[in-house]
Amino acid sequence: MNVWLPICLFLAGLLAGPFIRKFSGQVVLSRIDRPPKMASIMQFVTIDLALGAVFALLGVTFQASFFLVPYLLFATVLVLLSAIDIETHLLPNNVVWPSIWLSLVVILSHGLITSSLRTSYAALLGGLVFSGFFAVAFLVYPKGMGLGDVKLALLLGFFLGWPQESYLDTIRLVLYAALIALLLGGVIGLAYTRLKKTGSNEIPFGPFLCFGTICMVLGGETVLSLTNSTLS
């Protein structure tokens, strides 16, 4: 394994962090007419360091393959959306929808050029299953999440399914990512509710969806191998 690639990507994430912070701050200001409340050190941890760490781990996972660059861009969008969601409880359409359409173009083009449309179909399946799952949850309990989370899940599902050739593995990865998001969101939401006695107790769900997805993008193959060996 080329150890220099993750190191360089970590540094690249740190360098990209200030630009993401500036852009997210502008979006927050335009949406709720105030600058971000999060302290500068926390912004550095949740954006700069997080982006650098995810970049490095993606370098370990994909090495110098074609998939590395699209997943680096994907991770950048997730960190940006998470930062905005934490501050505003909104996932802006002008970020989510262009990301969805651009992802579709890249995924389908890759399938056509490399004659590997099965991976493209797996990506589409992942998006439909992930967004469909949370669309049903939204219809059953609208207060639990917003439509923005449903649209975000569509984007996330694409990248959970894209490298896969097995449709069953794609569905399993989507379910594992959803489980991580729901469990972590539930635990932190409960703790936040207990600690905060007054004011709004709502917390954004988007960052948990992003975290669960990144966990499965990075460790999905290991999880699938472990569950397969356990079940066999």
pLDDT at 100 over 90: yes
pLDDT of residue 231: 67
CA dihedral 100, 103, 104, 109 (to 10 degrees): 170
Q: pLDDT tens, 22-47?
A: 998 888 878 776 767 776 777 888 89
Tens of pLDDT, residue by residue over 153-212, are 999 999 999 988 899 999 999 999 999 999 999 899 888 777 765 555 678 999 999 999
Distance between CA atoms of 77 and 24, rounded to whole angstroms?
A: 11
The yes-or-no verdict on residue 229 having pLDDT over 70 is yes
CA distances from 144 to 48, 83, 108, 194 (A): 29, 20, 33, 17
pLDDT of residue 10: 97
- Residue 126 pLDDT exceeds 90: yes
The single residue listed with the structure tokens 């997943």 is 71
pLDDT at 46: 84
- Would you state the structure tokens that stand for residue 159, as one six-digit string? 């990248």
Confidence label for 4 from pLDDT (cuts 50, 70 and 90): very high
Q: How far apart are CA 217 and CA 191, in angstroms?
A: 27
